[in-house]
Amino acid sequence: MGTRSDCANPQPVGRPVTTSAISSGIRQAWLTTVLVFLGAIAMLGVLFWREAVDVYRVWGESTAYNHCFLVLPLVGYLIWVRRDVLATATPRPTFLPLALLPFLSVLWLAAVVLSVHEAQQLIVLTMLEVLVLSLLGWRLFKRLMGPLLYLYFLVPSGMFLVPALQDVAAAMAVKGLQIAGVPVFSDGVFIEIPTGRFVVAEACAGLRFLIASIAFGVFFAILSYRSWFRRGIFIALSVAVPIVANGIRVFGIIYAAYLLDSATAAVADHVIYGWVFFSAILILLILIGRSFSDRPAAIDGKTAAPAALGFMAPSRTAAVGVLAVLCAGVGPAYAALLSTQIAANAVAHARPPTMAAPWIPVEAGPPKWAPVLYGADYTFDDAFTDGHLTVRRFVALYVVRGYTNNLVRGENRVADAASWTIAGMPAAVIDVSGRRERVNLSEIVSGDQRMLVVWFYALDDAVVADTLTAKLHQLRGLILGSPPVSATVVLAIDMPDRTVPPLAAVSNFLAAMQPMPSYLREISR
């Protein structure tokens, strides 16, 4: 009796998929994804090149953000230790996350109008994260979430914390001095002891230590822990420890000055000592962190699951990249339209606001004082007297454009800090253009010269003191089509002695000056 070999050895229908075919498909999918990603990044770089340039400039100019140069190499390392994930997983591009991009692009435009550079940069980076999510798919993005979210450290942020950090450091130093039995008097960030007077300046607020510590803490937590709870604990330590340590450092410097009876000797090279102190704090954090690490030496010890079959067509990946760029470009396109609608010389032939009697112009002379204002389209610097007091007036005009709105900028100052000591004072309510308005006051001192500086913003038929209200008026003006010109008005009055600041003279001066809302409407025609 014969047998049929085809029954004993049945052949499968179709050709089996080999391991090499799977590997080749994965490589092809990754190659397509990387090429599309690089092309999309290039296009986004064209749309948002200002944000990239601003970020790079801050990295180089501010010592608080020099560590940002290390972020990309660190992200590269975090991805490298997850290379098994990349070798066995396939990108699965999806269109759904792209729905966020038009919304983010509109938010970016609002941030541009408000001139909030930090928000602009964070929004652009979020667009980048959405692009990566759309190209990789939810599952693969989740497995690479730690390195990808670490990219947010590329954005130099945190300057708004400086005043609070100054207050905390000063309060800790004063408390330490009291415990040590040192006679001390404090007024905000100014601390006086028998040896001398100290100020917790912006550079001593500890922002550099704090930001670098947080960046290191997050990196260490990603490498050392699997548990989100343990990661949270270590990151919280990375926030709290440098703040406390900086307060101790400030106390130590002042206490050393008291013991040495020499403020100069104690303060000399305190920045260098601070970095040595901070390095010791980092070592302490590492030792603490290693004591409760729950991750083995090999970060990806588990063998990754085999990749699923059914690779996405390259056309789908390309479509995701193209659509991402188009959606992200909504805001920049509208900003470009706004910029072309407003003439660059809108204020080139403007005249200064007029003044009525009894104030008459006087020769201003070489400026011994001037505010530090960036990006004004036109400025006026003049002086007037009523026979008793002389008021120096500085008016800076700004044209609202799609990309650049410089009315409110963090770098602006009422005086050059290198030449003047600036002490902020509570805002005051005085008569401005016939209405009671809130204005800002600052007392500035240089040698035996003392001046009172009064300043405010004029825009959108309003006079405002605080920056947030000014920014909201700018946004309202964009939506409702208000006059495109705004102004910063700064007045300075000599204070030969420490009597009551002459606010009455300021009110009289502003009552005689052409009302700013009508002035701005006039030059905007």
Q: Which residue has the tokens 């603490």?
A: 288
Q: Is the pLDDT of residue 39 over 90?
A: yes
Same domain for 311 and 354, yes or no, is no
Same domain for 110 and 182, yes or no, is no
User: b/e for 482-516, b at 16 or more Cβ within 10 A?
Assistant: bbbbbbbbbbbbebeeeeebbbebbbbbbeebebb
- Distances in Å between the Cα of 55 and the Cα atoms of 64, 220, 391 are 13, 24, 39
In a domain, 8, yes or no: no
Q: What is the pLDDT of residue 404?
A: 67
Q: What is the pLDDT of residue 13?
A: 45
Q: Is the pLDDT of residue 227 over 80?
A: yes
List the end-to-end C-alpha distance of the chain, in Å, as a whole number.
Answer: 108
Q: What is the pLDDT of residue 282?
A: 81
Q: Is the pLDDT of residue 193 over 90?
A: no
Same domain for 202 and 332, yes or no, is no
- Higher pLDDT pick, 62 / 329: 329
Q: How many CB atoms lie within 10 A of CB 46?
A: 10
Count of residues making up the chain: 525
In a domain, 77, yes or no: yes
Q: Is the pLDDT of residue 309 over 50?
A: no
Kindly report, residue by residue over 390-415, the tens digit of the pLDDT: 889 999 998 876 666 778 877 788 88
For helices 330-341 and 100-114, angle between their N-to-C axes, nearest 10 degrees: 40
Instruction: Supply 326's token pair.
Output: 């188009």
Q: Is the pLDDT of residue 313 over 80?
A: no
Average pLDDT of the chain to the nearest whole number? 81
Q: Which residues contact 399 (CB under 8 A, 6 or more apart)?
A: 342, 344, 346, 347, 377, 484, 485
What is residue 134's three-state secondary structure?
helix
Kindly report, residue by residue over 169-185, the tens digit of the pLDDT: 889 989 998 998 888 88
Q: Which residue has the tokens 């440098």?
A: 242
- Residues of the chain above pLDDT 90, percent: 25
Q: What is the CATH number of the domain that holds 500?
A: 3.40.1000
| Range of the structural domain that residue 251 is part of | 160-290
In a domain, 7, yes or no: no
- Distances in Å between the Cα of 290 and the Cα atoms of 213, 233, 249, 301 are 16, 12, 25, 19
- Distances in Å between the Cα of 294 and the Cα atoms of 215, 224, 225, 291 are 20, 7, 5, 9
Instruction: Tell me how many helices (H) and strands (E) the chain has.
Output: 19, 11
Q: What is the pLDDT of residue 345?
A: 57
Same domain for 197 and 48, yes or no, is no
Kindly report, residue by residue over 232-277, the tens digit of the pLDDT: 999 999 999 889 988 888 888 888 888 877 655 555 545 555 667 7
Specify the range with the lowest mean pLDDT, choosing from 1-15, 188-202, 461-475.
Answer: 1-15
Report which of 91, 247, 100, 105 is spatially closest to residue 177, judged by C-alpha positions. 247
The model's confidence at residue 155, banded by pLDDT at 50, 70 and 90, is: very high
Specify the range with the lowest mean pLDDT, choosing from 45-49, 191-195, 401-405, 455-459.
Answer: 401-405
> Which of 10-24, 36-50, 496-510 ranks highest by mean pLDDT?
36-50
Q: Is the pLDDT of residue 425 over 50?
A: yes
Distance, CA of 429 to chain centre: 31
Q: Are strands 449-459 and 435-446 parallel, antiparallel or unpaired?
A: antiparallel
Q: Is the pLDDT of residue 12 over 50?
A: no
Same domain for 371 and 225, yes or no, is no
Q: What is the pLDDT of residue 296?
A: 56
Cis bond upstream, residue 73 (ω within 30): no
Same domain for 504 and 371, yes or no, is yes
- Higher pLDDT pick, 449 / 6: 449
In a domain, 104, yes or no: yes
- Higher pLDDT pick, 369 / 394: 394
In a domain, 515, yes or no: yes
- Higher pLDDT pick, 428 / 125: 125
Instruction: Supply 442's token pair.
Output: 């600052």
In a domain, 10, yes or no: no
Total structural domains within the chain: 3
In a domain, 268, yes or no: yes
Same domain for 426 and 510, yes or no, is yes
Give the CA diameter of the chain: 133
Instruction: Please tell me the distance from the alpha carbon of residue 454 to that of residue 441, in angstroms, as a whole number.
Output: 5
